[in-house]
């Protein structure tokens, strides 16, 4: 028996390629941004033409597109805003994600059929705020990441008319929903303009005031990443999130790879579908979350406030146990030949694994490979090159990983 209403699975799409992977691997909706007015300035983002192409692709495959316009622009930047809003609206975007009241007002004035989702940047943490935003015409609130599951439930019960979207996976931030000046201070890069340099991830030292002596600050003897939050992972808590009435499960990471987007969309798709069928959680979903680039995982604020360890990492390295070797561009069934695009080196005789939508991957040994002129090769040429791989039963957009 399903535990509640089927939630939307919302995946990050930093560019057109990532959008196609998110949709192919099970996302119900993607969020992305144009090259202006969206946080994550270095995510690649979409030109207006690419955005229209992305919406067309997503809609053709039954998925929605939410366009992030969640910066806080200065007066001088407002001039361009109506033009961008009209473009996004005409392209057929399903929703705008915004935080600045001026931007929200512009969306209501210039979009043909405005649907506004309130960004997590607004830090909505209570029912009274949710009611206020509902009265302003907001359709959905992306809740602050600092809320517990119980608090989310209460907002759901108190304001049943508004949709609630919650982050379920990805990087967290020690500042309150991104309100932070560390990056501006150290590098001049504005976190609230989408250009955060993540100085919270750096290692810090103590400096003695008078003579400038430095000492390494120690946190469990492994260094001092006292501002660097653990990544969020809620995949084994899908039933609780559904039970709390969360309408949309959001995966963070517009700047992560196409492999991350595909693998996380796939794993959460499987976990949500199993929950809706009333089936038990498949532990292999956990292994999938370990296969992508991530820091130590935690459950954020859902079940408790950070304790004495402040939910920070003990080491700052990203971990990923499966390299993304290549993507499958096309597959010739009669010849058993896959045309692939190389991401990382592959050698004949090495073990690899192929990930397809809805599955957990299958192991195989790399057999015959050929260059573009069908000359046999022992190893793949270099990243970005096309080559052929002899293998059974693939489909376009399958992913070969280590
Ligand atoms: S510096 Fe760190 S805490 Fe501050 S906004 Fe950037 S990621 Fe968040």
Cα-based distances in Å from 170 to 61, 235, 305: 25, 11, 18
CATH number at residue 375: 2.40.30.10
183 Cβ below 6 A of ligand 1: yes
Do 279 and 336 share a structural domain? Answer: no
Distance from the alpha carbon of residue 179 to the mean position of ligand 1, in angstroms: 8
Cα-based distances in Å from 219 to 172, 202, 224, 368: 19, 13, 5, 50
Strands 369-370 and 8-12: unpaired
pLDDT tens-place string over residues 351-374: 999 999 999 999 999 999 999 999
Distance from the alpha carbon of residue 228 to the mean position of ligand 1, in angstroms: 9
Do 167 and 120 share a structural domain? Answer: yes
200 Cβ below 6 A of ligand 1: yes
Do 81 and 162 share a structural domain? Answer: yes
255 Cβ below 6 A of ligand 1: no
pLDDT at 401: 96
Mean pLDDT (the chain, rounded): 90
38 Cβ below 6 A of ligand 1: no
Do 251 and 114 share a structural domain? Answer: yes
Distance from the alpha carbon of residue 269 to the mean position of ligand 1, in angstroms: 29
45-64 average pLDDT score:
95
Top mutation candidate among 120, 197, 200 for ligand 1, by most atoms within 8 Å of CB: 200
Do 341 and 262 share a structural domain? Answer: no
Higher per-residue confidence, 174 vs 233: 233
Closest residue by Cα to residue 289 from 311, 316, 322, 315 = 322
pLDDT at 326: 96
pLDDT at 1: 44
pLDDT tens-place string over residues 305-314: 777 666 777 6
Do 384 and 239 share a structural domain? Answer: no
Higher per-residue confidence, 291 vs 208: 291
Closest residue by Cα to residue 327 from 275, 387, 270 = 387
Contact (Cβ atoms closer than 8 angstroms) between residue 359 and residue 344:
no
Please tell me the residue having the least CA distance from ligand 1 atom 7: 198
Distance from the alpha carbon of residue 380 to the mean position of ligand 1, in angstroms: 38
pLDDT at 41: 59
- Scan for tokens 């990050």, then name that residue: 12
Please identify, among 259, 280, 298, the residue that sits at the C-terminal boundary of a domain: 298
Higher per-residue confidence, 391 vs 223: 391
Strands 386-390 and 337-342: antiparallel
Q: How many CB atoms lie within 10 A of CB 186?
A: 12
Do 166 and 69 share a structural domain? Answer: yes
- Which tokens in the block code for residue 384? 């970005």
pLDDT tens-place string over residues 109-166: 999 999 999 999 899 999 999 999 999 999 999 999 999 999 999 999 999 999 999 9
Burial class (CB in 10 A: 0-12, 13-18, 19+), 222: exposed
Do 332 and 261 share a structural domain? Answer: no
Q: SS3 for 19?
A: helix
Do 59 and 106 share a structural domain? Answer: yes
287 in a domain, yes or no? yes
- Scan for tokens 């210039």, then name that residue: 110
pLDDT at 124: 96
Total structural domains in the chain?
2
294-319 average pLDDT score:
79
Distance from the alpha carbon of residue 191 to the mean position of ligand 1, in angstroms: 7
CA dist 330 and 328 (Å) reads 6
CA dist 367 and 347 (Å) reads 9
Distance from the alpha carbon of residue 206 to the mean position of ligand 1, in angstroms: 20
219 in a domain, yes or no? no
65 Cβ below 6 A of ligand 1: no
Do 238 and 156 share a structural domain? Answer: yes
Q: What percent of the chain has pLDDT over 70?
A: 92
394 in a domain, yes or no? yes
199 in a domain, yes or no? no
Distance from the alpha carbon of residue 168 to the mean position of ligand 1, in angstroms: 18
173 Cβ below 6 A of ligand 1: yes
351 in a domain, yes or no? yes
Confidence of residue 39 (pLDDT cuts 50, 70, 90): low
Q: Concatenate the DSSP letters of all residues of 172-236 into one string.
A: --SSBTTB--HHHHHHS--GGGT----GGGS--EEE-TTT--EEE--STTS---TT-BPEEE-GG
Distance from the alpha carbon of residue 174 to the mean position of ligand 1, in angstroms: 6
Confidence of residue 42 (pLDDT cuts 50, 70, 90): low
Domain range enclosing 376? 324-401
Confidence of residue 45 (pLDDT cuts 50, 70, 90): confident
CA dist 371 and 374 (Å) reads 5
Confidence of residue 44 (pLDDT cuts 50, 70, 90): low
Chain-centre distance for alpha carbon 82: 27
pLDDT at 316: 63
pLDDT tens-place string over residues 197-248: 888 888 777 788 888 887 766 655 555 676 788 899 999 999 999 999 999 9
pLDDT at 180: 78
Higher per-residue confidence, 29 vs 213: 29
User: What is the Cβ-side half-sphere exposure of residue 82, based on CA atoms within 13 angstroms?
Assistant: 4
Distance from the alpha carbon of residue 17 to the mean position of ligand 1, in angstroms: 27
Please identify, among 298, 313, 341, the residue that sits at the C-terminal boundary of a domain: 298
128 in a domain, yes or no? yes
- Which tokens in the block code for residue 233? 């992972």
Nearest atom in ligand 1 to the alpha carbon of residue 201 is: 2
Q: Concatenate the DSSP letters of all residues of 127-183 into one string.
A: HHHHHHHHHTT--EEE--TT--HHHHHHHHHH-TTSEEEEEEEE---SSBTTB--HH
The answer for residues whose C-beta is within 8 angstroms of residue 377's C-beta and 6 or more apart is: 348, 369, 370, 371, 387
Distance from the alpha carbon of residue 310 to the mean position of ligand 1, in angstroms: 15
Do 108 and 253 share a structural domain? Answer: yes
39 Cβ below 6 A of ligand 1: no
Top mutation candidate among 196, 228, 253 for ligand 1, by most atoms within 8 Å of CB: 196
Distance from the alpha carbon of residue 215 to the mean position of ligand 1, in angstroms: 24
178 Cβ below 6 A of ligand 1: yes
Nearest atom in ligand 1 to the alpha carbon of residue 179 is: 5
331 in a domain, yes or no? yes
Do 240 and 370 share a structural domain? Answer: no
CATH number at residue 247: 3.20.20.70
210 in a domain, yes or no? no
95-108 average pLDDT score:
97
Is 0.85 surpassed by the pTM of this model?
yes
CA dist 272 and 242 (Å) reads 9
Residue ranges of the alpha helices (H) in 25-123? 48-60, 81-91, 101-110
Q: In the β-sheet with 376-377, what is the strand arrangement from edge to edge? A: 362-365, 351-355, 399-401, 324-332, 337-342, 386-390, 369-370, 376-377
- Which tokens in the block code for residue 181? 């000046």
Nearest atom in ligand 1 to the alpha carbon of residue 191 is: 5
pLDDT at 2: 46
Please identify, among 282, 298, 314, the residue that sits at the C-terminal boundary of a domain: 298
């Amino acid at each position: 028996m399903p535990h509640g209403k089927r939630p939307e699975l919302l995946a990050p799409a930093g560019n057109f390629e990532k959008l196609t992977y998110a949709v192919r691997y099970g996302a119900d909706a993607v969020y992305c941004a144009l090259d202006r007015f969206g946080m994550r300035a270095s995510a690649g983002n979409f030109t207006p033409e690419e955005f229209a192409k992305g919406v067309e692709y997503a809609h053709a495959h039954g998925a929605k597109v939410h366009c992030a316009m969640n910066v806080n622009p200065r007066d001088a930047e407002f001039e361009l805003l109506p033009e961008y809003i009209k473009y996004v609206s005409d392209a057929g975007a399903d929703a705008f994600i915004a935080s600045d009241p001026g931007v929200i007002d512009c969306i209501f004035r210039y979009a043909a059929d405005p649907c506004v989702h309130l960004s997590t940047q607004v830090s909505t943490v209570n029912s009274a705020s949710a009611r206020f935003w509902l009265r302003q015409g907001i359709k959905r609130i992306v809740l602050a990441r600092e809320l517990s599951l119980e608090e989310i439930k209460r907002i759901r019960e108190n304001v049943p008319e508004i949709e609630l979207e919650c982050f379920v996976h990805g990087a967290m931030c020690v500042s309150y929903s991104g309100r932070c000046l560390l990056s501006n201070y150290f590098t001049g890069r504005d976190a609230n303009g989408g250009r955060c340099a993540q100085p919270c991830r750096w290692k810090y030292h103590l400096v003695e005031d008078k003579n400038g002596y430095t000492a390494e600050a120690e946190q469990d003897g492994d260094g001092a990443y006292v501002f660097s939050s653990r990544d969020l992972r809620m995949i084994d808590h899908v039933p609780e999130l559904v039970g709390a009435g969360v309408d949309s499960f959001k995966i963070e990471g517009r700047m992560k790879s196409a492999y991350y987007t595909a693998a996380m969309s796939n794993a959460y798709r499987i976990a949500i579908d199993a929950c809706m069928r009333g089936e038990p959680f498949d532990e292999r979903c956990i292994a999938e979350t370990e296969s992508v680039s991530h820091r130590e995982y935690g459950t954020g604020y859902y079940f408790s406030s950070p304790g004495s360890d402040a939910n920070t990492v003990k080491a700052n390295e990203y971990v990923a146990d499966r390299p993304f070797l290549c993507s499958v561009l096309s597959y010739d069934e009669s010849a058993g030949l896959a045309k692939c695009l190389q991401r990382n080196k592959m050698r004949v005789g090495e073990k690899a694994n192929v990930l397809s939508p809805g599955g957990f991957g299958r192991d195989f040994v790399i057999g015959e490979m050929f260059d573009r002129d069908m000359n046999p090769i022992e190893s793949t040429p270099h990243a970005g090159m096309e080559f052929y791989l002899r293998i059974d039963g693939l489909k376009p957009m399958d992913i070969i990983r280590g």
